[in-house]
Structure 1
C-alpha cells in the first residue's frame, strides 16, 4: 500500500475573527500529484504555508514526509522543496551560477555539486543558456530554472504554487512534462493552480477548497460525475429534420440557430446505440453527432458558485 507523503487532519487557522481554514482533512499518497483548487481567498496559500512550516496552525495535526510540521519542522524542511508563483531566481546571476548558489547553500561536496548543476541544466534544456544572465531568460526558462534550483536539495515532496501562471501554452506543456517525469521518479507533487486543465492533465487526486472548507475530493472523473449535464448533441441540415428529430426525442432541447438538439444521455455505448436506432426507426439522419460531458470548469462552478475566470482575478 502506498504510504502518505502528506497527512492532514482537522486543520484550522484563523486570523482575528476570520476563519481561513475550517477543519481540513487531506491525505496525499507518495509518488502522486495532488491538486488543490479554489477561488482567491479560499485558503490555498494558507494551507501551503502551514504544510511547508511557514505558518503555525491553530488546531489539527499535519504530518509531511512522516514528520510533524510543528515539532519536527527541520526534518520537514529537509524533505521538501517549494516553488512559488514567481520565479525566485537572481537575475544578475547566470543560470549556472543560480544553481551553484543553491548547491553552496545545501553544502554539497564540490565534485558532486558540479555534477548536479550540469545534470539539471541538461534535464531542463538550459545548457545553451547556462552562461547567460537570468534577466535574459523568457518566462518559461525562468520557471524551469526556478524548479531546477528547487531540485538541488533532492526533495521527495515538492509544493508548486501556480507553477505555470503567465506562461504560453508551449512552455506550460513543457512544465507538465517535467512534472510527470518527477513523479515517475517517485517525487510527490502538491500543486495549486488556477488552470483547471492543468489539474485535469496532471493530478491523481483533486480537492476543491472554498471559504476554508473542502467541498469535494476525488479523481478528476469522480468530480465530473458529481455534476449533471452529460448530453449528446445532434446537428441537422434542415429545419424539417430538426423538427422531425425533436418529435421523436421529446426530452431534447432545441438550438434553432445551430439546427441542433441537445439530448440528455449517460454517454455510454448502450444509450448511444438506442438513440441512433430511434433516429433510424424514423429515417432521420443527423449531419453531426458529438458527446459532451461536464469538465472541471463545470465542477468548479457547481461546487463554489464561481467560474474559473472569477477565481483567477
Structure 2
C-alpha cells in the first residue's frame, strides 16, 4: 500500500454565509506532485491554509504526514514547508542572511544553520547572490531563494501556492526542474497554479476545484480524455485521394483547398493503426497526419463554471 502524505475526508470551510469548501476529499501519496486547479476564488489557497495549520476546518478530517493539524499542529509544521504566491524574501537582507534568518527561526544550531545555508545556496545556484541584497535579484533568483528558505528545515511535504506567478518562461522552467529534483529526493509537492501547462508538465495527479467541490480528478491524460474534440488530421497529395478517403471514412470535416480531412478520435496507437490500415486496404495514400487532443485549457474551461448536470456528462 502506498503511504499517504496528505489525506482529507469531507473537508469543509465557510466564511460567514459563504461556503468555500463543500466536503472535498484528497489522497496524496508520498513522493508525488499533486496539483489543485480552479478559478480565482475556488478555494485553492483556503485548502492550503487548512492543510498547513493556518486555518481551522469547519468539518471533515485531515491527516498531514500522519498527524492531525488541529490536535497536533506542531508535528504537522515540523514536517511541512510553505511557499506562498507572494515572496517571503526580505529585500534588505542578502540571500545568505535570508537563509540564516530562517535557520534561526527553526532554532537550528548556528554551525548547522550556516552549513545548511551554504548547501542551499549551491544547490539553487545562488552563490553570486549570497552577499547581495535580495532586492537586486531577478524574479527567478528570488523565487529560487524563496523555495530554498522553505527547505532549511528539510520538510517532507511542501505546499507551493502559485510558485511561478510573474516569472518569465526561462525562470519558470528552471523552477519546474527544481521541483522535479525535490520529488526525486522523496519530497511530496502540493501545487496550486494558474498555469495549466505547469500542472500538465509536473503533476502526477490533478484535481479541479470549482464551486467548493472537486469536480474532476486524475492524471493529465485521464482528464483530457474526458473532453470531446480529439481528432486526427489527414493530409493528401491531391483531390482524388481526398475524395476517395472521404468516401471510405464518411468524414464531414474537410478542407479541399488544404487537401485535409479531420477524423474524430482519441489519437491512440490502436486507433491510428486501425485508421491507416483501413486506408491502406483501399490503396489510399496519406501524405501526412497530425494528432490533435484536448489540452488542460479545454479541461479547465469545460469543467469550471458549469452546471452540475454538464459536469456529470463530462465525467
Question: Could you tell me the TM-score, scaled by structure 2's length?
Answer: 0.92
Corresponding residue for residue 19 of structure 1 = 19
Instruction: Say if 1:49 and 1:242 are closer, same or farther in 2 by CA, change over 3 A.
Output: same
Corresponding residue for residue 47 of structure 2 = 47
| 1:238-276 Cα shifts (integer Å, max 9, x gaps) | 444433332222134123554321102242334323322
User: Displacement, 1:212?
Assistant: 0.5
Gaps of 5+ in 1: 307-313
Corresponding residue for residue 109 of structure 1 = 109
User: Displacement, 1:69?
Assistant: 1.2
User: Displacement, 1:51?
Assistant: 0.8
Distance 1:268 1:156 in 2: 37
Whether 1:136 and 2:136 are equivalent positions in the alignment is: yes
| 2:215–2:303 contact (8 Å) kept in structure 1 | yes
- Larger mean CA deviation between 276-285 and 225-234 belongs to 276-285
Matches within 5 A, 1:2-17: 2-17=2-17
Instruction: Say if 1:55 and 1:256 are closer, same or farther in 2 by CA, change over 3 A.
Output: farther
Distance 1:160 1:43 in 2: 15
Corresponding residue for residue 156 of structure 1 = 156
Distance 1:272 1:31 in 2: 35
Q: What RMSD in Å do the two structures reach over aligned CA positions?
A: 1.7
Distance 2:157 2:68 in 1: 15
Whether 1:206 and 2:212 are equivalent positions in the alignment is: no
| 1:220–1:296 contact (8 Å) kept in structure 2 | yes
| 2:225–2:266 contact (8 Å) kept in structure 1 | no
Corresponding residue for residue 121 of structure 1 = 121
Distance 1:145 1:41 in 2: 28
Matches within 5 A, 1:229-308: 229-256=229-256, 258-305=258-305
User: Displacement, 1:283?
Assistant: 4.2
Instruction: Say if 1:73 and 1:125 are closer, same or farther in 2 by CA, change over 3 A.
Output: same
- Larger mean CA deviation between 152-161 and 242-251 belongs to 242-251
Instruction: Say if 1:28 and 1:67 are closer, same or farther in 2 by CA, change over 3 A.
Output: same
User: Displacement, 1:291?
Assistant: 1.5
| 1:194-246 Cα shifts (integer Å, max 9, x gaps) | 11111111111111101100011112222222223332111235444433332
Distance 1:131 1:240 in 2: 71
User: Displacement, 1:128?
Assistant: 1.5
Find the residue that maps to 1:284 and give its secondary structure: coil
- Larger mean CA deviation between 268-277 and 97-106 belongs to 268-277
| 2:4–2:29 contact (8 Å) kept in structure 1 | yes
Instruction: Say if 1:238 and 1:305 are closer, same or farther in 2 by CA, change over 3 A.
Output: farther
Question: Could you tell me the TM-score, scaled by structure 1's length?
Answer: 0.92
User: Displacement, 1:134?
Assistant: 0.6
Distance 1:16 1:256 in 2: 60
Corresponding residue for residue 311 of structure 1 = none
Find the residue that maps to 1:68 and give its secondary structure: coil
Query: How many positions carry a matched residue from both structures?
Result: 306
- Larger mean CA deviation between 246-255 and 141-150 belongs to 246-255
Instruction: Say if 1:44 and 1:121 are closer, same or farther in 2 by CA, change over 3 A.
Output: same
Distance 2:273 2:63 in 1: 50
User: Displacement, 1:47?
Assistant: 0.7
